[in-house]
Amino acid sequence: MLIVKKFGGSSVANKERIFNVARRCVEEYKKGNQVVVVLSAMGDTTDELTAMAADINPNARKRELDMLLSTGEQVSVSLASMACESLGVPAISLNAFQVAMHTTSTYGNARFKKIDSQRIRHELESGKIVFVTGFQGVNKYDDVTTLGRGGSDTTAVALAAALHADACEIYTDVDGVYTADPRVVPNAKKLKEVSYDEMLEMASLGAKVLHNRSVELAKKYDVQLVVLSSLEEAPGTVVKEETKMEQMLVSGVTADKNTARIAIIGVKDEPGIAFKIFSMLAKKGINVDIILQSIGRDNKKDISFTVASTALKETLEVLEENKGRITAERIESDDQVAKVSVVGAGMQTNAGVASDMFEVLYNVGVNIRMISTSDIRITVLIDEADVDKAVKAVHAKFIEED
C-alpha cells in the first residue's frame, strides 16, 4: 500500500515529537508499505517568521514573505528524515521545487495546478520514506509560493491524489473532527464520519482542523481522509462522500474570528455597482463572504460584506483608491466581529433550524448583525466578544440536547 501521512506543527514541535513521527512512519514502512510524509513547520515557526518579517518591513512583498515562510517546512522535513535514518531506515526530504509541485502565481494563496509524481515514485521504489514540505509550491516563474495558513493538509491531499495513494491520514493534536472546537466546547463529541460537503463548510467557517481546500480537493479526487491524533492511538474521523450513519440534524458548530465587516455607504442605486466592487476585489484575490445590500432610497444604497481580517487592510486600500468609481460616500469597517455557523446535511429536510438558532442567541443576549445560509448551513455575524458564549449555547441546543 502507498500511504500519505501528514503531521501538523504541534506534532513536530520538538526533538521528541519529531522522533515520535519518525517512529510511526518507520512502523508503517516495516509493514511493507510505501510511506510519503507531509510535514508542517515546527510549532509556532510560521507565526515567528511572519513576525520577523513584519518587524523588518511591514509592507514586505508577498513573494519575499513566501520565500521566508517556506523555510519552516524545510527544517521539519530534513530533521524528520535524519531522525528516520538514525532509526535505521533510509529516508529523503524533498521541497516543493524538488518534487515539482506546480501552483498558480498568487503568493500567499496559491493553488495546485499540477504535481509531478516521478521523483517521489523513484525515491519510494528505492526503498526510502519520503518527507515532503507542506504548505508550498512553485509557480511559473520558478518562485516559491505558499498555499495560505494551514495549507499543509492540502499538500497531503494533493499528493495522495497525484500518487493514487491507498490512504491519506491527517495526524494532529486532537484525535478527530469534533462537533465543535474541543478547546472551546468541552462537551464537543467526536464524529466517526463526516461527509465532504459538511466538512468543507465546517473548514471554511472556522474549524481549522482541516484546511478547507484540502477538503475541496479530497472531494474532487475522491480521496478518503482520516483525521487522527499524532500522540494517542484512537480511532479518528473519516471524511468521505456519503456517511452511512443516520444524518444528524447538525454535525458541527464553528466560529471564525478572522472576519471583518466592511460597509460601503451611499453608492448609486444603479446597475453595475456591485459588479465593479466585487470584480475589483476578485482581481486582487480577495475572497468576499457574506454580502448584504440595503434597499435603495433616494437613489442610494449601502453594500456590506465580510472578508478575512487578514485581508482587511488591502481591501480598504483598494476601495479607498476607487471610491469615486464605485460612487461611495463613505467606507466603514469593523474588525471586532466573528462568524458563528451551524452545519449539517440534515438541515436540508428540517425546517426551523434557523429560528431555533436565533432563539438560542436571543436567550443569551447575542445580537446578530448579518445572516447567511446555504442548504446545509446557517451563519450569523456577531460581535467577536460574544463568540465563545454563542458557540457554547448553540452547541448545547443542537448537539447536547439531541
CA distance 148 to 75: 18
| 344 lies in the binding site for ligand ASP (CB under 6 A) | no
Q: How far apart are CA 220 and CA 161, in angstroms?
A: 9
In 3D space, the residue among 188, 179, 87, 77 whose CA is nearest the CA of residue 134 turns out to be: 77
Is residue 41 involved in binding ligand ASP (CB under 6 A)?
yes
Among 72, 134, 137, 150, binds Mg ion (CB under 5 A): 150
Q: Using the rule CB under 6 A, which residue among 2, 10, 49, 249 binds ligand ADP?
A: 10
7-26 positions binding Mg ion, by CB under 5 A = 8
- By beta-carbon proximity to ligand ADP, the closer residue of 191 and 277 is 191
Q: What is the grid cell recorded at 387?
A: 463568540
**Cβ atoms within 10 Å of 128's Cβ, excluding its own:** 21
Dist CA 363 CA 377 (whole Å) = 21
135 binds ligand ASP (CB under 6 A): yes
Question: Looking at 77, 159, 165, 174, which residue binds ligand ADP (CB under 6 A)?
Answer: 174
- Residue 300, strand partner residues: 268, 297
Q: Which is nearer to Mg ion, 150 or 344 (CB)?
A: 150
176 binds Mg ion (CB under 5 A): no
Q: Total residues at the site for ligand ASP (CB under 6 A)?
A: 12
Q: Is 137 in the site for ligand ASP (CB under 6 A)?
A: no
Sheet-wide strand order for 377-383: 291-293, 300-307, 252-268, 330-343, 377-383, 370-374
Which residue's Cβ lies closest to ligand ADP? 8
Instruction: Out of 172, 212, 306, 315, point to the residue binding ligand ADP (CB under 6 A).
Output: 172
Give the burial string for 206-216 (b: 16+ CB within 10 Å, else e). bbbbbbbbbbb
φ/ψ (deg, to 5) at 51: -65, -40
Site size for ligand ADP, by CB under 6 A? 19
Select the binding partner of residue 183 from ligand ADP, Mg ion, ligand ASP, none (C-beta < 5 to 8 A, by kind).
ligand ADP
Q: Which of 34, 78, 139, 152 binds ligand ASP (CB under 6 A)?
A: 152
Q: Contact between 237 and ligand ASP (CB under 6 A)? A: no
Residue 62 three-state SS: helix
Pairwise CA distance, residues 189 & 207, whole Å:
14
Cα gap 334→336, rounded to integer Å: 6
We find the least distance from the C-beta atom of residue 206 to Mg ion, in angstroms, to be 12
First to last CA, the chain: 40
Please tell me whether residue 173 binds ligand ADP under the rule CB under 6 A: yes
User: Is 252 a binder of ligand ASP (CB under 6 A)?
Assistant: no
C-alpha closest to that of 108 among 141, 48, 63: 63
From ligand ASP, ligand ADP, Mg ion, none, interface partner of 119 (C-beta below 5 to 8 A by class): none
Give me the residues that bind ligand ASP (CB under 6 A), please.
8-9, 40-41, 46, 72, 134-135, 149-152
**What residues line the site for ligand ADP (CB under 6 A)?**
8-11, 40, 150, 172-174, 177-178, 180-183, 207-209, 252
